[in-house]
Structure 1
Amino acid sequence: MIVLDVVGLQPRHLEDGLAPNIERFVDADTVASLEPQFPAVTVPAQTTLATGQTPAEHGDVANGEYDRDEDTAAFWERDRADRNRLWEAASDDADLTTGALFFQHLIGTSADSAVTPSPIEDENNDMIEMDCWTNPEEFYDALREEYGHFPLHNYWGPAANEASSEWILQAARESIDRHDPDLLWVYVPHLDYDAQRHGPRSAELEEAVETVDDMIGEFLEWLETTDRWHETVVNVVNEYGFHSVDTPVFPNRVLREAGLLSVKDDGEGGEEIDLAASRAFAMVDHQVAHVYTDTPEEARHALEDLDGVDAVLGAEGKRKRNLDSPNAGELVLVADSNAWFQYYWWLDDESAPYYATDMDIHAKPGFDPCELFFGDSGLASLDPTKISGSHGRVDEGTYGIYGVGGPAAPELELDNSTVDARDVAPTITDLLGIDDSISLSFDRSSLLQ
């Protein structure tokens, strides 16, 4: 069972002839649009795909996590914690050999073959040395010897490009050669970059689709030469598509103007948010923002008329969108389809905190796509008007893709229908024949039933 998560890929790319290699393995009869759960951002989407549950159930509500007790917002922390996903359940409960490459929260996974970036950093979050956490421990040493260090600068930031996907697909080959997994789940990232930089209908994104199609074509052609090809099912999935955007929205500036958000000196001449002293704070994440507040009605009053905000969700709104988790904000903002949320709270660039122009994904208490562009005074731009694509809302035009192919694939007539993201995990479980063996509890049934 090979699962390729090609973030940003949509059925229309196959229909437009941009991905002939992928289409050779998953033709139109076995391709569906995939409706993500809200919010359609990386960590919640990945966890839903790998557990068959909603964010209300699995608890991953954003790419960041806000700790109310400590008053801290942390993005992209890499520990598994108590997450139990399909590769862990198949390994622990069904005694299958499993692999997972470059999904979030992999450190500590029980997957037999795992790779995730884990650079060695100093106390200022500056990288001292590139490294990856792997299962088995020596796996990264073997990958580095063969292919060099994982190109982290091509995985995110102004130099992000297809080199990261190429390295990951090489690691997938090595995982198959060395560990022979029964289930291998692989994240292929680079369409994400051009979709955000240039927009989902841009020539640059179409070129990126053709590039990733060539890479996956080469990987699948190599897979055809392996001993277990005759018993292989290939799943192609994508977490979400992108909206064209032209309107950055700044909820933290509004909360500051309303007297609900406090700032302090960052020690280097800029303004740092004072989370402990703030009565409301928006942890922004593409087209969604979680507002953590002691005074929800005041915060709602300040934010509900903000241009670019489509909805302010309270308890009932979160429940209707399967987001009623204690990890979610007291309020959740949803952007207009052409808008997205930026974390800035300062009113002029001279007051920006020291890390605003750095590649510092852990210090920033919100997702910052401006890191995809070089800045005038640092690695990251402070110009949010550069962003042309975003995601997070769940609209039909931005659904992902799910397709099934390969020599051992069953007859599955999807034929451009729409499936729920929660259908993926039970379908793969069914295909593996382990539905009675694992401890995961699914919301929905396999597409084969």
Structure 2
Amino acid sequence: MRVMLFAFILTGTILSYLLQTCAAAEPHSDRCVVLVSVDGLANFYLDDPKADMPTLRKLARDGARAQGMVCSFPTVTWPNHTTLVTGTTPAKHGVIGNNYLDRKSATPVPFIPDPLFDKDQIVKVPTIYDVAHRAGLVTAGIIWPASRNARTLDWTVPDMFGKEAWPKYGTQIWLEELRQDGLPVDEHGAWTGESGGGVKRDWLYTRMARHLFQKHPPNLLVIHLVEVDHVEHKHGPRSTEAYWSVSYADDRLRDIVEAIKLSPHADKTTLVVASDHGFFPISKDIRPNVLLKQEGLITKDKKQAYCLSQGGGCMVYVLDDNHREQTIEKLRKKLAKLEGIQAVLGKEEYTKLGQPTPAEDPHAPDLWLAAKSGYSFTNSDSGDETVVPRKTPGGTHGYLPDQPDMLATLVISGYGIKPGINLGKIQSLDVAPTMARLLGVELPTAQGKPLMPALLDD
């Protein structure tokens, strides 16, 4: 009897697993997932009464929210947007910072804002839009970082600056339709160079989303809003201007909510609102390259080492292969003594944060630095002072991720989501697997897991 009971339970367990697997492998062409990244929207704003965000708060009440989302290190835009759509760390997806140092030429090479590389040249693992497209679903991207020339985005404009970017890399038939509808898409390049241009840009992006829902309804849309980040860099978090910017972002979220109603998938649409990092105020700059110059590692003719800023994080490259290990240890001790340094991370530490070693990725640095709140790194080696006051205070990110003000926002609402769920503190690695489950596609390379407490049973 016990054997029969065990066999029955085992058979039921296997059958349940197979049914779940089959369900997960069946793409849902009648559904839509919209991922909106509000760049720089720290989690603390969601509970701050000074932040006027009725749309986002209603979405949170009607769905699920995180009590903060831990992002990838460094907490900067390009790596974290790539984590959001891959469910992997920078060590695995390959976008290790907003830029990196070429060891041969000792010059910085930018990832941001996609000036050099197509998506397939830098993103080493499948994204959610890759697997959705290959499953036969319709995909769209509006200025999603690290997506230039992504062949698996059916409708797209890249996150690039300059007047030639969209005509060269955007979906031309879509841009022409937008022109015919009177949207100023040809002004976008000029707006990317304007102070305050993010206001116009975010307005345009939401109108482009509206057009998609009306004319080319996607099953997956990833869209990036930029103005909050721009304002917080200039004025700092929790400034009067920052509170205005999050209210403006909420208005744009309202536009997207209204636009979704125009889609034939409206009743089966899930809205995921996320950010890529939080924000710290800054009043002082750390110049580690001044120390390297004082140590004779940077001269007019040669760089034997170099520090490359990532805002509140910093990459340290040792370029002298003959004395590499000795120089690494020497710099580790000396850099730790600089004012404003929270941590000097060797490979035993930074690999735990999801960064690769130079042996795993030739673009990777030998050490990482993390600053304290109030401090930001620069690349300057001018003068003799390693720490200098900023002319005007501002804000930045890039710091160690598991700190209260560096936590990002996550709200999921709509089809398939339980109401009134607080997920607690989560990892950004879990966003892409959650979207994959909602769409009925597989993302086997993801390191995160679906946020099951938020999901209704299919």
Q: Larger Cα Rg: Structure 1 or Structure 2?
A: 2
**Match runs of 1:238-277 below 5 Å:** 238-263=275-300, 277=302
User: Counterpart of 1:102?
Assistant: 143
TM superposition shift of 1:134: 4.2
CA distance in 2, matches of 1:318, 1:10: 23
TM superposition shift of 1:337: 1.6
2:457 aligned with 1:432: no
Alignment partner of 1:346 out of 355, 359, 382: 382
Is the contact made by 2:60 and 2:420 (CA closer than 8 Å) also made in structure 1? Answer: no
TM superposition shift of 1:384: 4.0
Is the contact made by 2:237 and 2:395 (CA closer than 8 Å) also made in structure 1? Answer: yes
| SS of residue paired to 1:49 | helix
Is the contact made by 1:195 and 1:205 (CA closer than 8 Å) also made in structure 2? Answer: yes
CA distance in 2, matches of 1:209, 1:256: 41
Query: For residues 38-68 of structure 1, what are the alpha-carbon distances to aligned partners after superposition, in whole Å with 9 as ceiling and x for unaligned?
Result: 1111111111111111112112111003222
Structure-2 change in CA distance of 1:150 and 1:254 (3 Å): farther
AA of the residue aligned to 1:388: G
User: Counterpart of 1:396?
Assistant: 404
2:143 aligned with 1:115: no
AA of the residue aligned to 2:76: V
| SS of residue paired to 2:144 | coil
TM superposition shift of 1:131: 3.9
AA of the residue aligned to 1:283: L
TM superposition shift of 1:4: 0.7
Aligned length: 392
Is the contact made by 1:284 and 1:343 (CA closer than 8 Å) also made in structure 2? Answer: yes
TM superposition shift of 1:137: 3.2
AA of the residue aligned to 1:398: M
TM superposition shift of 1:14: 3.2
| SS of residue paired to 1:151 | helix
Is the contact made by 2:283 and 2:374 (CA closer than 8 Å) also made in structure 1? Answer: yes
User: Counterpart of 1:54?
Assistant: 89
Is the contact made by 1:155 and 1:190 (CA closer than 8 Å) also made in structure 2? Answer: no
User: Counterpart of 2:200?
Assistant: 163
Is the contact made by 1:194 and 1:205 (CA closer than 8 Å) also made in structure 2? Answer: yes
Instruction: Using the aligned pairs only, state the percent identity.
Output: 25
TM superposition shift of 1:288: 0.9
**Match runs of 1:358-377 below 5 Å:** none
Structure-2 change in CA distance of 1:330 and 1:446 (3 Å): same
User: Counterpart of 2:8?
Assistant: none
Is the contact made by 2:63 and 2:421 (CA closer than 8 Å) also made in structure 1? Answer: yes
AA of the residue aligned to 1:115: V
User: Counterpart of 1:9?
Assistant: 41
Alignment partner of 2:131 out of 66, 85, 89: 89
- Unmatched segments (≥5 aa) in structure 1: 120-126, 265-276, 349-381
Is the contact made by 1:107 and 1:133 (CA closer than 8 Å) also made in structure 2? Answer: no
Alignment partner of 2:348 out of 279, 291, 316: 316
CA distance in 1, matches of 2:390, 2:189: 23
CA distance in 2, matches of 1:117, 1:240: 18
**Match runs of 1:32-43 below 5 Å:** 32=66, 33-43=68-78
Alignment partner of 1:420 out of 406, 427, 441: 427
| SS of residue paired to 1:61 | coil
TM superposition shift of 1:302: 3.9
CA distance in 2, matches of 1:235, 1:14: 15
User: Counterpart of 2:254?
Assistant: 217
TM-score (norm 2): 0.79
Is the contact made by 2:311 and 2:378 (CA closer than 8 Å) also made in structure 1? Answer: yes
Alignment partner of 1:138 out of 162, 173, 184: 173
CA distance in 2, matches of 1:133, 1:402: 33
User: Counterpart of 2:449?
Assistant: 445
TM superposition shift of 1:155: 3.7
Residues 193-202 or 79-88, more deviating: 79-88
CA distance in 2, matches of 1:259, 1:21: 55
Is the contact made by 1:249 and 1:340 (CA closer than 8 Å) also made in structure 2? Answer: yes
TM superposition shift of 1:284: 0.7
User: Counterpart of 2:15?
Assistant: none
AA of the residue aligned to 1:64: N
Is the contact made by 2:42 and 2:405 (CA closer than 8 Å) also made in structure 1? Answer: no
Structure-2 change in CA distance of 1:51 and 1:203 (3 Å): same
Structure-2 change in CA distance of 1:263 and 1:158 (3 Å): farther
Structure-2 change in CA distance of 1:86 and 1:278 (3 Å): same
User: Counterpart of 1:305?
Assistant: 337
TM superposition shift of 1:128: 7.0
Query: For residues 101-127 of structure 1, what are the alpha-carbon distances to aligned partners after superposition, in whole Å with 9 as ceiling and x for unaligned?
Result: 1122222202111111555xxxxxxx6
| SS of residue paired to 2:82 | helix
Is the contact made by 1:97 and 1:112 (CA closer than 8 Å) also made in structure 2? Answer: yes
Is the contact made by 1:426 and 1:445 (CA closer than 8 Å) also made in structure 2? Answer: yes
Aligned-pair RMSD on alpha carbons? Answer: 2.4
TM superposition shift of 1:154: 4.0
AA of the residue aligned to 1:104: P
Structure-2 change in CA distance of 1:28 and 1:334 (3 Å): farther
